[in-house]
Structure 1
Amino acid sequence: MNDLQRPGWTLVWHDEFDGDGLDRTKWDFDLGNGFFDYRVHQWVPGWGNEELQYYTGDPENVQVRDSCVFLRAVKAPLHGCGYTSARLKTKARDGRVLFAKQYGRVEFRARVPWGKGLWPALWMLPVDDKYGGWAASGEIDLMEIVGEKPEEVLSSIHFGSSFPRRTLVTKTHPLPAGSLVSDWHVYAVEWEPGEIRFFVDEALTCTHRHWWSCSRLENGLGVEAAGEADLNPWPAPFDQPFYLLMNVAVGGNFPGVPNAATVFPAELVVDHVRVYDKAGGYGPATPRGPGTMPWEPGHEQERRS
């Protein structure tokens, strides 16, 4: 086991995957190929992204060995899907919270699979949709990749209004020459009131201090905030507890579909997950700067669909 201490931070939760199986007091599985959207009263296949995998909790898709957890996307038909895979999370399917954190440092040490049509991710979601459905209550993505680009890593925050009017800000970080996502890297976020910082191998890749949250709906769907009165109090939505997720999706509207060169099984290997509190606690929220709202002059955000 590596040294768990970190200057300026206090370890509050971790998994080193040292046993012979997944610790079910820490992790549960998402299962299937979609979810029921109660706002519109219909089943949403492909997890809303036209994904092709069926998530299971089977040993073929989740293995713990060599002090690592292996999340494996396999080319195998199941329940009408062409692939099986795994998505682990620290919130149980029955709603129990196994672990969640409001502010702190979260890090994953991982080797990431790549290839056309692969969409591995290490990320966080809010325990409760306090400010509304996705993404009015936020999402934090420590790591995801465009499947056929193993030399770069994406980190993102999702916020704004509920679907379909959410906002996304993404930073693309090129890895050092000669390094690929299939090598070991540490992906981390340091999250404080009013500020979110992303890191790859201790290198600061970006800092975010500008976001917003709007709960207003029309016909059950989110609408773009039209003014300050539409916003939830700063620093919403990133002022609530979030839980952890890790998964390997296949296909979908982001990476496209696999091709003949895509290698299966595709394994996301995670050596550890560690969560820290800031020594001495957290101060007041960093003020939100001007020129960051969608209705203000000078509003600019890097976005991807």
Structure 2
Amino acid sequence: MKYLQSKYTIILFLGLISLIPITGCSSDGGGNDGQSDTPSNLVITADIVGTSTANPNGDGSGLVHFNVSADNATSYKVLIEGQTINTTSGVFSYTFTLSGVNTYTIHASAYKGSKFISTSINITVYVVSSVVWSDEFNTDGAPDSSKWSYETGTGDNGWGNNELQYYTNRPENVKVENGVLKITARKENYSGSNYTSARIVTRDKYSVKYGKIEMRAKLPAGGGTWPALWMLGNNLSAVGWPACGEIDIMEHVGNDLNKIHGTLHYPNHFGGNGVSGSVVVPGVTTSFHLYTLKWNASYLKFYVDNQLFHTFNNNSETPFNDPFFFIFNCAIGGNFGGAVDPNFTSATLEVDYVRVFN
């Protein structure tokens, strides 16, 4: 669901300054006072907690104890999952949180003044999967106000895209019923618009950085419907769109039945130039399907019913290394939704649950 504004700020993402040189190289910082002052014999050791014959990659806690050492070094910098750890002792612990068995490259540099030496190792860590946040939509009525708020109005409020609906907070457009969130788009005259629908967000209530996100949903049918389960960066107000980043976990267009899109928008890749993948899944409007995002510092992977259909290689220069909040909505028409079927009267996006795993 592309988020357009009349003005936006494109942020130049600067790399970490003087962080990790090329693996295995060293530098004398431009000086000429001999190699004795340059660190040498750099070694990284990693003790994965709970390793055994039965659990070669750890006990599932994700906790790893590191020891970085080098001759003649006074400080160290270690890069793990896009985060820089500064240490003078070289001894520290780090907890990996992405569930499953994953391999990570650990980069380390040993410094004395401006002189350094660098190396890296790969480790494989097991983290047991657990839910850290969810909404099961088990209480009838309005969506849980501790988790969700409404964005109401038309595209004039900032989201644009030439959509035709007016977003309301009425139960006719959004409610929880029989264990399911229902967002219903309706053909009706309302506040100058010919259609109504709803758009709910977790902004300022919940956001997530990395992990596995699952949503089980049944999509609305009808030409012109444009349901989306997606995310925007928490820093939207500060930097604008697309600098904040956008993660479209699931988009569907009724005029292109059963084709599911997973898309990323960010500077130089927004609007029709987003980085996208798609897959055809029969029956998305007649039965529930599982939409999943796996996200870490190295990649974002998009799945439908556990089938991988799109992979994006993440890096420190993208905005996808900061917290994002959720948006669930069903638009009508617009740049992506297209022409509305003249026989359209109403259609409902149903969400059984959303779950965030470590």
Which one of the candidate residues 313, 318, 329 is aligned to 1:209? Answer: 313
Partner of 2:336: 254
For residues 29 and 190 of structure 1, what CA distance do their matches in structure 2 show?
A: 26
Which one of the candidate residues 63, 67, 71 is aligned to 2:179? Answer: 67
**TM-score if structure 1 supplies the norm length?**
0.71
The one-letter code of the counterpart of 2:152 is L
CA apart distance, 1:254: 1.0
The question of 1:274 aligning with 2:347 is answered: no
CA apart distance, 1:257: 2.5
The question of 1:57 aligning with 2:169 is answered: yes
The question of 1:30 aligning with 2:151 is answered: yes
The question of 1:168 aligning with 2:250 is answered: no
Partner of 1:187: 291
Percent sequence identity over aligned pairs: 39
**TM-score if structure 2 supplies the norm length?**
0.61
* Structure whose residues are more often strand by fraction: 2
Partner of 2:130: 10
SS at match of 1:188: strand
Q: Name which one, 1 or 2, has greater alpha-carbon Rg.
A: 2
Which sections of structure 1, spanning at least 5 residues, go unmatched?
Answer: 1-5, 37-43, 92-96, 212-233, 278-305
The answer to whether the 8 A contact 2:188-2:195 is kept is yes
The answer to whether the 8 A contact 1:110-1:185 is kept is yes
Partner of 1:87: 199
Partner of 1:140: 247
The answer to whether the 8 A contact 1:250-1:258 is kept is yes
SS at match of 1:259: coil
Which one of the candidate residues 296, 315, 318 is aligned to 1:236? Answer: 318
For residues 261 and 270 of structure 2, what CA distance do their matches in structure 1 show?
A: 22
Question: Structure 1 pair 132/167, CA: closer, same or farther in 2 (3 Å)?
Answer: farther
The answer to whether the 8 A contact 1:135-1:167 is kept is no
SS at match of 2:254: coil
The one-letter code of the counterpart of 2:146 is T
For residues 9 and 243 of structure 1, what CA distance do their matches in structure 2 show?
A: 21
SS at match of 1:193: coil
CA apart distance, 1:149: 2.1
The answer to whether the 8 A contact 1:136-1:162 is kept is no
CA apart distance, 1:30: 0.6
For residues 190 and 263 of structure 2, what CA distance do their matches in structure 1 show?
A: 31
The question of 1:154 aligning with 2:261 is answered: yes
Structure 1, 74-83 or 122-131: larger mean CA deviation: 122-131
Please provide the CA RMSD for this pair.
Answer: 2.1
Question: Structure 1 pair 252/267, CA: closer, same or farther in 2 (3 Å)?
Answer: same
The answer to whether the 8 A contact 2:260-2:278 is kept is yes
- CA deviations over 1:107-166 (Å, ceiling 9, x no partner): 1100001221111000000111388321122100011112222222111011124978x8
- CA deviations over 1:69-110 (Å, ceiling 9, x no partner): 10000111111100110011101xxxxx11000111111100
For residues 215 and 317 of structure 2, what CA distance do their matches in structure 1 show?
A: 25
CA apart distance, 1:20: 1.7
Question: Structure 1 pair 167/160, CA: closer, same or farther in 2 (3 Å)?
Answer: farther
The one-letter code of the counterpart of 1:14 is S
Which sections of structure 2, spanning at least 5 residues, go unmatched?
Answer: 1-98, 101-127
Question: Greater relative contact order (Cα 8 A, min sep 6): structure 1 or 2?
Answer: 1
The answer to whether the 8 A contact 1:114-1:149 is kept is no
Partner of 1:19: 139
SS at match of 1:9: coil
The answer to whether the 8 A contact 2:331-2:337 is kept is no
User: What is the number of residues matched between the two proteins?
Assistant: 232
CA apart distance, 1:169: 1.1
